[in-house]
Amino acid sequence: MNDQVGAMTMPINVAQIQKLLPHRYPFLLVDRVVEIVPEVSVVALKNVTINEPFFNGHFLGHPVMPGVLIVEAMAQAAGLLTQISRRLKGDEGSPLFYLVKVDNARFSAPVVPGDQLRMEVRLKREMRGMGLFLARSLVDGKEVASCELMCAARAEE
């Protein structure tokens, strides 16, 4: 898929993602954006490999991606939806958005090395510099996690 979204060509790769998010190894948890409807929704991917540093201790002999990192990956996808949408409107000085609330987190299956996490995030509403997002993650078409996320804008100091 090489669709054009404004001045961006899909898919959006990790080098482009690093220009949009402040996260870096080992905490950048999005590898690619494959779909986006600006100000509405985004679909992003995370390839989960045995080389992830958290697998060293979670769990010995039975590697499982921590649920909190699945939530963080969905929050990063929400941040990408916000940053890409703002840039497409010409706002190059977009503030950072911080995760401020997680509600209704559910985990229905483990995420293990070799899985590809597909994060689907939809903006539910935006108010006073905050965004409320509905997020879910899938592996092989099966939902493995879901939650509501609230992110708030914070100007850089």
Strand partners, 36: 42
> Of residues 32, 58, 122, 136, which has the active-site annotation?
58
58 is catalytic: yes
DSSP assignment letter at 111: -
Burial of 23 (0-12, 13-18, 19+ CB in 10 A): middle
Q: Evaluate the CA torsion angle 147, 96, 115, 44 in order and state its sign.
A: positive
For the annotated catalytic residues, the residue numbers are: 58
